[in-house]
Amino acid sequence: PVMRMTSGSAGYDLHAACDGEVVVEPGKAVLVPAGFEMAVPPGYEAQIRPRSGLALKSRIGLLNSPGTIDSDYRGEVGVILFNFGDEDFIVSRGDRIAQMVICSLPSARLVETEVLESTVRGPGGFGHTGRGEG
């Protein structure tokens, strides 16, 4: 079942719905079925996110993270597990493999323009604001 572990949990735990065991080899990705379909309401998305315990203990993460389930998708939910570690990772049916958070989407209108207003940061990116002086 898809459920939250505690009343304060933001995410719903997703469990592997594979037949038998699935081996995720080091440096490889595997699509693991979660065993359910869902209808996300318009104006929302479901985000599939890694589990911190798997990341820390087993170096297992998700490619395409967070994954998005759109409101018009009607197939089975799957989780793309990636093994960042050095050893095989075994997934068994029922294992908690990811978490799902339901998020509302803001309504935004994109406007094409030739000029952007300037900011203090300007075009600096990729770590620009994290540099210390000295």
DSSP track, 92-125:
ETT-EEEEEEEEE---------S-----SSTT--
pLDDT higher than threshold 80 for residue 3: no
Average pLDDT over residues 115-120: 90
**Sorting pLDDT into bands at 50, 70 and 90, what band is 123?**
confident
In angstroms, the Cα distances linking 7 to 4, 36, 52, 91 are 7, 22, 18, 27
pLDDT of residue 130: 64
For 14-63, the pLDDT digits (tens) are: 999 999 999 999 999 999 999 999 999 999 999 999 999 999 999 999 99
pLDDT of residue 125: 78
For 70-107, the pLDDT digits (tens) are: 999 999 999 999 999 999 999 999 999 999 999 999 99
Query: Which of 2, 102, 100, 99 shows the shortest CA–CA distance to 51?
Result: 99
**Sorting pLDDT into bands at 50, 70 and 90, what band is 134?**
very low
DSSP designation for 3: B
Compute the distance between CA of residue 80 and CA of residue 82 in angstroms, rounded to an integer. 7
The encoded tokens of residue 8 equal: 């304060």
pLDDT of residue 47: 97
pLDDT higher than threshold 80 for residue 129: no
pLDDT of residue 117: 92
Query: What residues contact residue 130 under an 8 Å CB cut-off, 6+ apart?
Result: none
